Amino acid sequence: MAAHKGGAAHFNHANLKLVGRIGNIVRRMGAQSVIVSQTVAARFGLNTTDLEGLDLIQLQGQVSAGQLAAATGLTSGAVTALIDRLERAGYVERVDDPADRRRVLVRIREGSIVEIAKVYAPMQKRMFALWSQYSTDELAVIEDFLNRSLELSVKCVTDLREKV
């Protein structure tokens, strides 16, 4: 547990094997996430980038094109095209930023993703049931692991982009 609290971990052979297995599972989860996105996107005539962009917008509530570009790594032109496609499909709308008249924000149109949410609902219900089997302390460790892994992944992608 020392590594969880930020201290140096004592890795013996068993720990290294476990870390390796966790790494493989995380990779498989990433691949499975891509497969789920492709499957759901296809059902709605979207490409996976558009579906994931829509999810990022929903998670934030509303975003600027610049924020979406930073989150996805897409160029400003590609983000504009993504937003245009989602707007034409009726999923998002552009609204003036009340804090800055020069900026436009993108948000989900009310009721527009109900059908997409229905597709995800059974999977979400099953996942919540699984996750609910863990204690509060175990969930806190899982949350910490996922947050720290996500932050590190974002940093690694940033590093890769800067080295191009």
pLDDT tens figures, 51-76:
999 999 999 999 999 999 988 888 89
The model's pTM: 0.83
Q: How far apart are CA 109 and CA 90, in angstroms?
A: 7
Per-residue pLDDT tens digits for 90-123 = 999 999 988 888 899 999 999 999 999 999 999 9
Query: How far apart (Å, rounded) are the C-alpha atoms in residues 69 and 161?
Result: 13
For tokens 């930020």, what's the residue? Answer: 6
Say if residues 40 and 49 touch (Cβ distance below 8 Å): no
Q: Supply the mean pLDDT for the chain.
A: 91
* Cα 1 to Cα 6: distance, rounded to the nearest angstrom: 9
95 bridge partner residues: 105
Residue with tokens 């004592």: 10
Q: What is the pLDDT of residue 126?
A: 98
Confirm if 63 and 56 have CB atoms less than 8 A apart.
Answer: yes
Average of per-residue pLDDT across 10-20: 85
The residue that leads in pLDDT, 155 or 126, is 126
Residue corresponding to tokens 């089997």: 133
Determine the angle formed by the axes of helices 76-88 and 65-72, rounding to 10 degrees.
110
Which ranges constitute the DSSP H helices of the chain? 13-43, 48-60, 65-72, 76-88, 114-131, 136-162
The two structure tokens encoding residue 14: 């068993």
Kindly indicate the confidence band of residue 10, based on its pLDDT and cuts at 50, 70 and 90. Answer: low
Tokens read off for 135? 């204690």
Residue 96 · residue 104 · CB < 8 Å: yes
CA-CA distance, 85 to 43, in Å (whole number)?
A: 16
The residue count of the chain comes to 164
Question: What architecture (CATH level 2) is domain 13-133?
Answer: Orthogonal Bundle (1.10)
